[in-house]
Amino acid sequence: MKKHDAVATLAALAQDSRLDVFRLLVEAGPDGMLAGQVAAALGLPPNTLTFHFDRLREAGLVTVRREGRSMIYAARFETMHALVAYLTDHCCQGRPELCKPGPGNATRLSAARKPERVSG
């Protein structure tokens, strides 16, 4: 995955309704869901939903196919995994044990906040 694609994929997911849509489709699995089912599940108007489906599709995160009058959307897990790989690759200068998930590796939280401006 190239940087441009990674940004597009992240942008596609960085929106309330779209994240809901995508996670619903991830939960649904490879068979996907009817557009109307998604609309009903999330309470989104059909034109708004089309707009968001388009963004997800352009980012390669979902596929569509027609079935009768309905459209069936499904998550593309491949893209999701590629994004994860893009984010986590090359970490820690070749010593990935420094940033692997799990216990015993809690990030130092003492520096989580920005040192506040003091004077005025």
Partner DNA sequence: AAAACATTTCAATAACTATTGAAATGTGAA
Partner DNA sequence: TTCACATTTCAATAGTTATTGAAATGTTTT
State in angstroms the smallest separation of the CB of 73 from DNA: 8
Which range of residues in 15-23, 76-84, 86-94, 102-110 is near DNA by CB under 7 A? 15-23
Q: Which residues, in sequence order, are CB contacts of 75 under 8 Å at separation 6+?
A: 22, 25, 26, 28, 29, 30, 32, 61, 62
Q: Considering the rule CB under 8 A, would residue 55 count as an interface residue with a second copy?
A: no
Verify binding: residue 70, a second copy, rule CB under 8 A. Answer: no
For DNA, give the closer residue by CB, 21 or 79. Answer: 21
Write the Ramachandran bin of 117: left for phi over 0, alpha for psi from -120 to 50, otherwise beta.
beta
Subset of residues 25 to 44 that bind DNA, contact rule: CB under 7 A: 34-36, 39
DSSP string, 68-106: TTEEEEEE-HHHHHHHHHHHHTTGGGG-GGGT-SSTT--
β-strand 70-75 against 62-67: which pairing, if any?
A: antiparallel
Nearer to DNA, 47 or 93 (CB): 47
Residues found near a second copy in the complex (CB under 8 A): 3, 6-7, 10-11, 13-16, 19-20, 22-23, 26-30, 54, 57, 60, 63-66, 74-81, 84, 87-88, 90-93, 95, 98-101, 105-112, 114-115
